[in-house]
Amino acid sequence: MAEVSKSSVIQELITENEHGQRLDNLLLKKCKGVPKSHVYSIVRSGQVRVNGRRVAVSYRLQIGDVVRIPPMRTAQVEQEVVDGAALKAQLPVVYEDEGLLVVDKPAGLAVHGGSGESFGVIEALRRQRPQARFLELAHRLDRETSGLLLIGKKRSVLLALHQMFRVGARGGSERGADKRYQVLVAGRWMDPVRKVRLPLLKYLLPSGERRVRVADEGKAAHTVFRLLARWEHFSLLEAELKTGRTHQIRVHLAHLGFPIAGDEKYGDFARNRTLPREGLKRMFLHAWKMALPHPLDGRELVLEAALPSALTQFLRTISTKERQDYGEPV
C-alpha cells in the first residue's frame, strides 16, 4: 500500500485485502499523524474520491475501486522507528504462510499503540515489513501477557480468524479456535478440572483506567481450568478460554481467591511486592497453545509457544523451596 504523500495525489487501487473495509477506516490507517477531524473533513469536501465520485465515509470499498487521496502532511515520531527496530529481535516467528503470521509476543509489549503506549507489536511489524500490503491483529493479548499472537496477512484470513475466535471452543457444527494458557496462581488449587462460568462487566476507575469485575449484569464468560502442578503456596494451571472477554482469566481467578502471581491489576498486591526478589518480575500468564482450522484450506493448525525461560526458572525456584504434591516434577 502506498504511503500518503505531502506533495502529490495518491491513487490507491483496492485489492482483496481492503475489500469490504469502510473508507474512513482505510484512510485513518494510512494517514498516521493526521488529525482524525481532518481526515473526515477531506472526505466531506470531496477531496477524497472513489472511482472519480464523492462518497460517504461509511462507503464499503470494493475490489477494483480506485481511491483518490490528496496530499497531506503527516507527523513523524522518530522514537517509534527506534522502538520498531528494537522489537525486531524480540518477536520470534512461530508460524508464517501467505495468509497468516504468528509471533511469540514477549511480556511488557503492547500489541498496538494507544492507551498510553506510543508503539506496539503491530506497528513494529509494519515498520519491519514495509512491503506487506496488509498486516492486522486477529486478536489481543494484554501487555503483561506473553505468547501466541496471530496476525492476518489477508483481509479474508483476518475475517475468518475473527469468526473462529467468536465461536471459540464452544463446540457445535462450526469449528472455532481452541486457546490455552499457562498461569501460576497464589494458593492451593484442589480441583483437577474446574469449569468457571461467571459474567464479566467492564467499568472505569475514577482515573479513567479500564477494569473488569464479576457481575450479574455482565457478559457471559466461560473458562476451563486444569491443574498442572501444585506446591505449598502456588498452583500451576492450564486455562482454556471458551469465550474471549477482556481480562477474563485474570478476573475469574481473582474472584475465586486465586490471584495470578505478579498481576498488578487484580492480584495480591502485598504478595506481589516480594516476588521480584524471588525471581518473578512479571505476571505469570502465557498464551501457550492454540489449535484452529487454517482459514485458507481448513487443515488443522496446531501452534505452541514454550514457556519463557524466566517463568520456567521461577517454577524451579519454587520447587527448591516448597514440596510439590501434584503433577509432573518441575
pLDDT of the residue at 72: 78
Domain at 257, CATH number: 3.30.2350.10
DSSP 306: P
142 is catalytic: yes
| HEC profile of 181-249 | EEEEEECCCCCCEEEEECCEEEEECCCCCEEEEECCCCECCEEEEEEEEECCCEEEEEEEECCCCCCHH
Mean pLDDT of 298-318: 94
> Do 95 and 56 share a domain, yes or no?
no
pTM as predicted: 0.76
The amino acid sitting at 142 is D
What confidence tens digit (pLDDT) does each residue in 190-211 have?
999 999 999 999 999 887 888 9
Over residues 244-253, the mean pLDDT reads: 95
* Same-domain check for residues 102 and 150: yes
Catalytic residue (choose from 142, 191, 263, 297): 142
Question: How many domains does the chain contain in total?
Answer: 3
Question: Do the domain assignments include residue 25?
Answer: yes
User: Tell me: the pLDDT tens digits for 276-296?
Assistant: 999 999 999 999 999 999 999
Chain mean position to CA 329: 31
Q: Which residues pair with 93 in a beta bridge?
A: 103
Q: What is the largest CA-CA distance in the chain?
A: 73
- What pLDDT, on the 0 to 100 scale, is given for residue 8? 74
Residue 167 lies in a domain: no
Classify residue 74: in a domain, yes or no. no
Domain of residue 61, residue span? 10-69
